[in-house]
Structures are given as C-alpha cells and as structure tokens.
Structure 1
C-alpha cells in the first residue's frame, strides 16, 4: 500500500496536479517526508480522508491563508493563518482540512516507528507521542526548516541527499524536544569525531564526489548512528557533511579547470553536479564568479 508520504498520494488527497516530495531515509522503517502543497486558487472541496496510521504530519504555512479543520470529526476554524503557523496532526485522529484560499504549505511527515528507531539509535529518550498546545502556533524553527527545503524540493533532481538527511535529523531533534512526550533516560551528549573517524568520513566523501552519499553511509564508516555522526562531524569541522561535500566538489572542479581545455559540462559530471547549470550556480556561490571566468583569471598562474 502506498505511504501517505508519497507525492502521488498527497497530490490526490489535496486535489493538486503536483506535490513535489523529498524523502530522507534516516530511519529504516519509513522515510521522513517533505512535501510542498501549493495552490494558487485554494481547494474547491476538503482534502480526502487520510488512511489512519501511527504517524504525524506538520503543516507549515508559507503564505497567509485560511482553513477549516476537522479532527476526529470535531470542527476547528483557522480563519487567519500567517507564515510560520505550524499545524501538528496526529494521523491516527482522522484529520481533514479545507483550505479555501490560495495556499503554500510545507508538509513534514514522520512515523511513530521512525521516532522509536531514531530515539534508540541516537540514545534519546523515546517520544511516545507528539502534541502541540495549540493548532497553528508559530514555530520559527519549523518555518526555517521549511524555507530551507523549498529550493531542494523544486530542484529534486539535483544531488542533495546529505542536505536532506541533515534537515531530517534537525526536524527529528526539534519536534521531539518541542512536541514530544518522552520517556526513558536523558539524551547522550555527543562529542567530536576522533582523528580516525574524521579521516574515514572525509576519505569516503572524496571517493564519492561524483555520487550522492548519505549520512547513514558516512556514519557506518565511523561506527556511529546517523544523528550522532552528523552532530559530531559539525562540531569537529565547523560545517555539515553536505557543506563539506559541496566544498570538495568545487575544489576538485577548480583543479580540473586549471588542467586544460576540458569542457565545463564534463567537469560538472566528474565532480558530481547534475549538469552545467547546477555546477555554474554552486561554483559561483563559492568562488564569486562563473567557472569560465574563474579559469580565465587563474590559469596564467599555473602554466
């Protein structure tokens, strides 16, 4: 059966032609899902009923709008919603929405099984449920995560698994801390990577510049869980694994640009960029200029 985190299922439920979705496989049971739900007109009819499941969705408003909600058959009106308003829905409670104005929403999905698995692997206290004190309360962290995901969702073909994994782990940490009813011992406070762990991680990244490595793969190299590894890597290097990967791709591209007349499209493929446009956009962010201009400016000093 199709999961409620899948793009087609969500598009049909909210009467949308497209519902672009990214999935993070930071848990083995079900993915953490991120979906953009956008309509320039609003919905003519309420969203279709959701399959009851032990899972939660967070809807973060990106535009002002208004909606009617039904939870377990009880009506809740939300006539004025501002950007950043966050709605937590327990998908076992039969939530139904009717957003009758234009809307732009980032939907986050996580199952109870994923919450349990990640808590175990990260040494966290287990969140037996997620509860919000008020529907539509403004959550600055969730709004920030939603905004960070927008470009990635619309450019899903670009290789950004490390970035999406990082957002998924940040989402998990935030919702369990903010909305979780937790049990068990306190969280283990992680430290930094040991020298051998850092070397393993950066060597794996260097060997996979033309691929799309995941945080889980890097964590395995170090004998750590995904969440512990991600935090320890950032504390050790000052950047996230995704930022490290992009920087190394750009550095590799600079080496190739100085070697000769290799075409930019070929450099892009060798260094793990989807195409020349993707390569040029990322390169310019790091170098302050296009790859072609950078090569013209720097080639003379390496002859």
Structure 2
C-alpha cells in the first residue's frame, strides 16, 4: 500500500490552498532573498504540504484561535490568546518539512504573515559564522520573538508604502532575519565574528560611489555587495561600522539629499523629483523626506 506523499508547494502556490486571496504579497515586487504574504482567512484546513523555502509565520489579530498541526505524523494542538499576539509569537517551519494544519475553533478571521526565506540565501549568511558547515533550522512552535515579529511587520509596511521600490530594504531585513534564525533557531548555534574595523577607505569609497551612481534605480543590496566582492551580511556589518548607519539608511539619506537639490529648481515637479531620486511614489518620497528634514517636499521648496 503506497504512502500518500505531501503536496510540494512553492510560496506562490499558497493562495491556491486558501479560501481568500492574500491581502498583500511581494511576489511581483522583485524581491529575491525573501518573500512575504499577508493573509486573513475565515478558517484553515490545509492538506499535508511541504515548502522548499524556510517559512516564518507571524500571528496577527486578537481573537482566540485553536489550531491542530500534524508534523511528520505527530499531532499537536496550539492555542493563540490575546497575550500571545502582544508578545510577538512566531512559528518557524524549516524547508521541506511536511506539515498539515486546520483550525478547530470558530472565529471571524485568522490573520498572519508568511515570510519565505530561500535556504541557499540562509546558507550564504551561515558562511559568515564561526560554524558554517551545518545549516539546519529547528521546527519552532508558538515562540515569543518580538524581533522577528517586528521584522515581519516592517517588511509588510515597506511593501505597502514602497511597493516595487522596497527590494533594497527587503534584502537588508532578509539578512538580519537569517542571521537571527541561525543564532537562535538552528540545530547548531551560529555565532558571528565581531569586526572592530569597518570597510577599508577604498572599499567604502567604492560602495559610496556605486550607491551615488545608481540612486535613481531600484537597487538591491546584493548588487552592491557583489560589486565589492563580499557577502551581504559582511557588507552590511562593516558599512555600519564605517558610517554609523545601515546601507538602507544611507541610501535613503542620499536620495533625500539629491531631492533637496532638485526641489530648488521650480520647473521640476515634485512627482518627477520623487521618481528621479529612486522613490517608488510621491507618498513614500514625502514620508522619507519629512523623516530626514522635518518638512514635506512642498514646504521645503517654498522655504
């Protein structure tokens, strides 16, 4: 008698298994290292599935929910209460691990964020650790981790505001999330070297010049790291050591500085300036501009 095999699904296949379409996804936004989907469903009743990506689930909402999970033939019931949402409870499901889940209590809606991480990317981050050989994440059920919850919510917010322009930020968060998972959710605890020095003057100049030359483009973190011949994790860590800010913060700051110069030319529209400086839309431009200058672009132009 043949044993029924789990259904192998990629992140793009998840919506096909659920009654309602996702509220938001990154699937068309050019993200590469990580993908995100935001779901709100009346119930869950999934067949046994396995996903080739590592999956981090962040529970949202306020309702009491009881879920029945089956992992490798083992059944477990997990309940979510108000305090669990407040403490940032998450789940980690390693790549290729068969699982089955269904809701067993009536609710108005079940809401969550899925973050899908490519195992090859996590393995690349692991190579910056002291013990790079074994990369195996642990199955983790309903564990409070505010940092992971905040990363998921920050990615969701960036996707809502910046859309296709959020790739650089997604790369940065994928790097941070992968390092955190390797430190705390791996069969072998990965420790990362602390570097006292930052980038060499030559490498820092090379990075800054590359960012300046591509300010108006939909930059990715991997493009800059590749230009310097180093990993994303290594580049992020050393760049912050050198400048006091993350590569993403520096990129936004430089886009705002360029926008300040262009806004003083009255023949240029604010929308044109936003797009020319690499912002996905005028709303995102205004938010970032106010964050760095304390005023919106129109106020700055008239000041």
Which TM-score bucket, shorter chain as reference?
A: 0.7 to 0.9
> Cα distance, 1:19 vs. partner?
5.3
1:105 maps to 2:112: yes
Q: Distance in 1 between matches of 2:121 and 2:268?
A: 45
Structure 1: give runs of 5+ residues left out of the alignment.
26-30, 298-303
Cα shift at 1:75:
2.2
1:11 to 10, 15, 19: 15
**1:124 Cα deviation from its structure 2 partner:** 5.1
Question: TM-score, normalised on structure 1?
Answer: 0.84
Bigger mean CA offset, 220-229 vs 168-177? 220-229
Q: Does 1:57 align with 2:64?
A: no
CA contact (8 A) 1:59 1:108 kept: yes
Deviations 1:245-268, CA, capped at 9 Å, x for gaps? 111111111101113332111111
Q: CA deviation at 1:121?
A: 5.8
Q: Displacement of 1:279 after TM fit?
A: 1.9
Residue 114 of structure 1 and its aligned partner are, at CA, apart by 3.4
How many Å apart are 1:107 and its aligned residue? 1.5
| Residue correspondence of structure 1 range 156-171 to structure 2 within 5 A | 157-171=163-177
Give yes or no for the alignment of 1:205 onto 2:211.
yes
- The answer to whether the 8 Å contact 1:122/1:227 transfers is no
For residues 3 and 236 of structure 1, do their structure 2 counterparts lie closer, same or farther at Cα, with a shift above 3 Å needed?
farther
The equivalent of 2:154 in structure 1 is 148
Q: TM-score, normalised by structure 2?
A: 0.84
Q: CA deviation at 1:115?
A: 2.9
CA-to-aligned-CA distance 1:21-58 (integer Å, 9 cap, x gap): 33643xxxxx432222223xx22x502432464x4312
Decide which of 19, 37, 41 is 2:39's aligned counterpart: 37
Structure 1 residue 128: deviation in Å? 3.3
Cα separation, 1, equivalents of 2:96 and 2:246: 35
Residues 197 and 221 in structure 1, CA contact (< 8 A), matched pair in contact too = no
Q: Indicate conservation of the 8 Å contact 1:57/1:108, yes or no.
A: yes
1:28 alignment partner in structure 2: none
Q: Which residue of 2 aligns with 1:300?
A: none
Q: CA deviation at 1:142?
A: 1.0
Distance across 2 between alignment mates of 1:199 and 1:116? 29
Contact conserved, 2:56 with 2:91, CA < 8 A, in 1? Answer: yes
Cα offsets for 1:136-174 (capped at 9, x unmatched): 011122112112112123345241222111100011000
CA distance in 1, matches of 2:116, 2:293: 36
CA RMSD of aligned residues (A): 2.6
2: CA distance, partners of 1:59 / 1:174: 15
Residue in 2 that maps onto 1:95 = 99
- Deviation track 1:50-105 (CA, whole Å, cap 9, x = no partner) reads 2464x431211122342222212332111224211111223433212224532221
Give the drift of 1:13.
2.4
Q: Distance in 1 between matches of 2:189 and 2:148?
A: 23
Distance 1:195 1:52, change over 3 A: closer
Give the gaps of 5 or more residues in structure 2: 1-7
Closer/same/farther in 2, CA of residues 223 and 128 from structure 1, 3 Å limit:
closer
Are 1:117 and 2:124 an aligned pair?
A: yes
Structure 1 residues 163 and 113 mapped into 2: Cα distance closer, same or farther (>3 Å)?
closer
Once residues 135 and 178 of structure 1 are traced to their aligned partners in structure 2, the CA distance between those partners, rounded to angstroms, is 13
The answer to whether the 8 Å contact 2:164/2:280 transfers is yes
